[in-house]
Amino acid sequence: MTDLLGFWSYVHADDELDGGRATQLGRDIVGHYEAAKDEAIKLFLDDDDLHWGDQWRDQIDDALSNVAFFIPVITPRYFGRVECRRELQFFADRAEQLHISELILPILY
């Protein structure tokens, strides 16, 4: 069975300021979902899925092209970050092309 794929979008500075809690929240959501549904889920989290030397933008775009849902972690700085806006717009444009609108699941953090 193929894992359900999602994308976790957040501001690194907010995560660092908060001791890594935003990235840990993403990992916790995966664990709790799997425990509740007894079903695998995969969440693209750049801290876990990107490695030194990776072509990070290509990796992100590839992930955004293949995920079923997008979770932006909305903080006061989120929309001020070019890359966060780009990720959200990339996914929203793809969802619109597929005529699907319920795939963006924001978290107000």
In tens, the pLDDT along 26-39 reads 999 999 999 999 99
Q: What is the pTM of this model?
A: 0.87
**67-88, pLDDT tens digit by residue?**
889 999 999 999 999 999 999 9
With cut-offs at 50, 70 and 90, classify the pLDDT of residue 102: confident
Average pLDDT over residues 98-107: 86
- Number of residues that this document lists for the chain: 109
Specify the pLDDT at position 55: 75
Average pLDDT, the chain: 89
What are the structure tokens assigned to 106, written together? 């924001």
Nearest CA among 72, 17, 18, 20 for reference residue 44 = 72
Alpha helices in the chain (DSSP H): 12-17, 21-37, 46-49, 56-66, 82-97
